[in-house]
Amino acid sequence: MAESPLPYTAVLCDLDGTIVDSAPGITATLAYTFERLGLPVPTPAELLAWVGPPILDSFRDLAGFDLEQSQRALDIYRPRYLSAGAYDASLYPGMAEVLHAIGRAGIPLSLATSKPETPARAVLEHFSLADAFDELTGASDDELRSAKKDVVEEALRRLEEAGADLSRPVLIGDRHHDVEGAAHHGVPTIFVTWGYGAPAEGAGAVAVVDAPADLLPLLGLDASE
């Protein structure tokens, strides 16, 4: 097989904060969850910190819930998010074009999100983007696979099983979880600044971009391809 002339032979892409601004639906569903639990609702700024990491980790780390409390909260959160919150999101301008350019170039593309796969698929189908991906990899619906390093491992496994060239993969994401989870498998990250991560979270990324169009030259692509 001839070596690809492109800088990366496969692309993994985060969802929340990278492809879509999903914060409104997530934070509204979290507020509903806290209300149902009879607890004070964190401020909007505090709730924004929940967007991106695995939700069970956030129930533990940000709310201080034990396993039983976290499961009860998840049982309230999940159906509400699937029925309403998942669709209260907006597509970042230019990201659809980037995903389609990756597809036209024949570069294998997998989602790699800590959002469970069922709502992740629902979000992408809502924006008619599910078909842009070769693999839709996320957290398992039971949340047992939710750490970004485990999601990246599963995405790579699926791509390899499908015959993708994984000699030079790259991940596109907006949080330090993305950078660290990809690095665990020796995968570099392109850090995007339009998401939810603070600038310092891009430490260790191979590149930092301020607009979706800036991804194209890094991938060896242009919008007309």
Catalytic residues, which ones?
14
How many CB atoms neighbour CB 98 within 10 A? 23
- Distance separating alpha carbons of residues 28 and 86, to the nearest angstrom: 10
Query: Under 8 Å CB-to-CB from 211, ≥6 apart: which residues?
Result: 94, 194
User: What is the rounded distance in angstroms from the CA atom of residue 47 to the CA atom of residue 26?
Assistant: 9
Q: Identify whether the C-beta of residue 17 lies closer than 8 Å to the C-beta of residue 91.
A: no
Whole-number CA gyration radius for the chain: 17
Beta-strand pair 169-173/10-13 = parallel
If you ran DSSP here, which 8-state letter would residue 197 be given?
-
β-strands 189-192, 207-209 pairing? parallel
Looking at residue 158, its amino acid is R
Query: How many Cβ atoms from other residues are within 10 Å of residue 185's Cβ?
Result: 15
